[in-house]
Homo-oligomer: A and B are copies of this chain.
Amino acid sequence: MSLTLAKAINSGLRRSLDDDPSVVLLGEDIGALGGVFRVTDGLQQEFGTERVMDMPLAESGIIGMAVGLAFRGYRPVCEIQFDGFIYPAFDQIVAQVAKLHFRTGGAVRMPITIRVPYGGGIGAVEHHSESPEAYFAHTSGLRVVTCSNPQDAHTMIRQAIACDDPVLFFEPKRRYWTTGEVDEELDTLPLGAARVVVPGSDVTLVAYGPLVATAVDAAAAASDGGLSVEVIDLRSLSPVDFGTVEASVRKTGRLVVTHEAQQFGGLGAEIAASITERCFEFLEAAPARVTGFDVPYPPARLEDHFLPDLDRMLDAVDRVLGRQNSLTGWRA
């Protein structure tokens, strides 16, 4: 079945609602409207207002109510309408959702999934293009995942909902309309596993979510130039499947990490630091990062500069290979 990424999540939600009566969907405008991206399209009609509930306009309230429902044995799936609107719920996520299982010595489970359309590239106004994943990956007790294609979108949302831990599920909104084959029965990889999407031997290029497609394009371009770039789709950001990344870097000796999020203190730093710790002696060059700048997400007319693209990825590939690149001769 060929589906867009948005429809693949929709069908994953439908299957989860079907399979488990404790699953409930909570969010703003997810009912009659089907969500601003139509990811929940038709689900309220099909499952009723007790399973798919429009929520008052208060993110802390939505997550706090999900916590109470989880106490009662429910498995809430919350939609945060856009990345930039998750912060009012930060306290409930970080101080309650993430900590309750630990706080209660395992007595109270928080199988809550928080769906967040994230990232830029859609020409939106402020607060609609952010990549806040590092805040949550730094928070013990949470799992953080993101998908890059329709098949994963479908499988991973179902795995996230079925998971007994709280999961932040980041959806690459600019890829909602990407089409691909979806097999509802396919369940090849566990939720925490990364995937090598392009095998290669010269450089390891780690990406996730919206930038996987860009990274694959970069690898194709590099291959035209005779370079073999291995692209890894991280999929899980907490935990990171370092085994897969490490195996690749042991082979290539060179690592480039890319994400849309701001660089300072972002996931790229953790991946670079961890891989350096794990296979320092295999590294031929310092890992390079290709990320959004350390500025608030800029106005739409500037986002092409902010967002990592194929050229900036290739420039970093050149850098880790010690070839001529934009920083050759650059001095602070």
Taking beta carbons and an 8 Å cutoff, which residues of A are in contact with B?
Answer: 60, 84, 87-88, 90-91, 94-95, 98-99, 102-103, 126-127, 134-135, 137-141, 238, 262, 264-270, 272-274, 276-278, 280, 283, 285-289, 293-296
Contacts and interface: CB of A to CB of B under 8 A. Distances in A.
Nearest to A92: B87
A70 to B, nearest CB: 17
Contact of A90 (B87, B264, B277): B87
Given A265-B265, A270-B265, A285 B280 contact: yes
B262 A138 contact: yes
Contact of A286 (B95, B138, B280, B295): B280
Nearest to A99: B296
A242 to B, nearest CB: 9
A269 B268 CA distance: 9
A172 to B, nearest CB: 20
Give the 6 A-B residue pairs with the shortest CB-CB distance, closest first: A138-B265, A87-B91, A280-B286, A90-B90, A272-B273, A269-B273
B265 A267 contact: yes
Given A87-B91, A102-B295, A135-B138, A273 B268 contact: yes
Contact of A264 (B138, B278, B288): B138
22 contacts: A60-B88, A84-B95, A87-B91, A87-B94, A87-B95, A90-B90, A90-B91, A98-B296, A99-B126, A102-B295, A102-B296, A103-B126, A135-B138, A137-B264, A137-B265, A138-B138, A138-B262, A138-B264, A265-B267, A270-B273, A272-B277, A273-B289
Contacts of A278: 286
A92 to B, nearest CB: 8
Nearest to A270: B269
Residue among A269, A273, A287, A295 having the largest count of chain B Cβ atoms under 10 Å: A273
A31 B267 CA distance: 41
Contacts of A127: 95
A222 to B, nearest CB: 21
Nearest to A238: B264
Contacts of A98: 296
A286 B139 CA distance: 25
A94 B262 CA distance: 13
B296 A140 contact: yes
A109 to B, nearest CB: 15
Contacts of A102: 295-296
A274 B287 CA distance: 9
B273 A287 contact: yes
Contacts of A265: 134, 137-138, 265-267, 269-270
Contacts of A286: 276-278, 280
A262 B296 contact: no
A236 to B, nearest CB: 12
A268 B270 CA distance: 9
Nearest to A278: B286
B266 A138 contact: yes
